[in-house]
Amino acid sequence: MPRYAKHILFIVAPLVAAFAILPFAYNNQLLLFNFVLFLTLAQGVNVIYGFTGYLPFGYVGFFGAGAYGFSLLILHLHAPPLAAMGGAAVAALAIALLLTPLLRLSGAYFSIANLAAALALMQFISNPNLEAITRGPYGVSMTGVFNPRLAYTMALIVMAGAMLVAVWLRNSRFGLALQAVREDPVSAAQAGVDVPRARAYAWLISAVIAGLAGGVFAWYVTVFYPENVFSSDYSIFAVVFALFGGVSTILGPIVGVLILYGVYNFIGFSTPQYFQLIYGALIMALVLFLPQGLISLVKRRGIDVP
């Protein structure tokens, strides 16, 4: 059996099936939806950081663009939600194309510029002068399309798509080229890899994943404000979850989300006074002792981690 088929059969399919069944056994669908959302975003971060080395502190910009791309089609064109999901992807893709010059930067310069771009986009959307178009700072309301069950189903489809992208990158020549670019761009270029184009493709793919996640979020909640969909929490959580589990793998971001977001919800509600201390100590311990993520513990035993 080809490796990509094994990855789909033993990783993607069971995960999607589990989150499809869980709502029937666990009545907190919002929590399950958030798990699905962060599983998607963590894989999106994995595409751009794990396979190219670009750390996107402003990743939430694509998420917010997707949410507004979805909602504006609903509000102004009365598009059906399924069609509006296409608008979410296009909006995120358009922003990514506009910000492609950021890829000329590297390291902290790219991360900071990416964060600044996301903040600038939020300020633009929340401008009171654009109230007739974006609703400005007053928020978006689409109660006419409220259907959490269907939105949750679409979230599962988006998550599955993000996982399949990760499977493809782990098993394709393009994914190997991206990893070569991440390790040594000069050597990759000498080997025939078009470095700028490879980075740009990864950037655009990552943006579409976040845009679709933003669109499905807007569909699920139907009422939101700019500061909700452009909250830095989405970027920080997605980055931390991916790093915690281990990037440039399929399983790493999944493990990171399931453990850290589970801990976040357990500690945050049961012992909120200790939440920041415990969560911060957990992340610091990982950075100091396991910089390659939890998956590196398995790799040290010579096991090939998908």
Chain mean position to CA 281: 24
Tokens encoding 78:
């009365």
pLDDT digits (tens, 9 = 90+) for 147-172: 999 999 999 999 999 999 999 999 99
pLDDT digits (tens, 9 = 90+) for 34-81: 999 999 999 999 999 998 989 999 999 999 999 999 999 999 999 999
Q: What is the DSSP letter of 192?
A: T
Distances (CA, A) of 61 to 18, 147, 183, 209: 29, 25, 27, 12
In the chain, the amino acid numbered 303 is I
Q: Specify the pTM.
A: 0.95
Q: Assess whether pLDDT exceeds 70 at residue 287.
A: no
- High-pLDDT (> 90) share of the chain, %: 70
Domains detected in the chain: 3-299 (1.10.3470)
Give the angle 42-249-113 at the CA atoms, nearest 5°: 45
**Residue 2 confidence (pLDDT):** 80
Q: Confidence band (pLDDT; 50, 70, 90) for 291?
A: confident
In the chain, the amino acid numbered 111 is S
**Residue 93 confidence (pLDDT):** 98
* CA gap 214, 70 in Å, rounded: 8
Tokens encoding 165:
């992208």
**Residue 303 confidence (pLDDT):** 67
Q: Assess whether pLDDT exceeds 80 at residue 276.
A: no
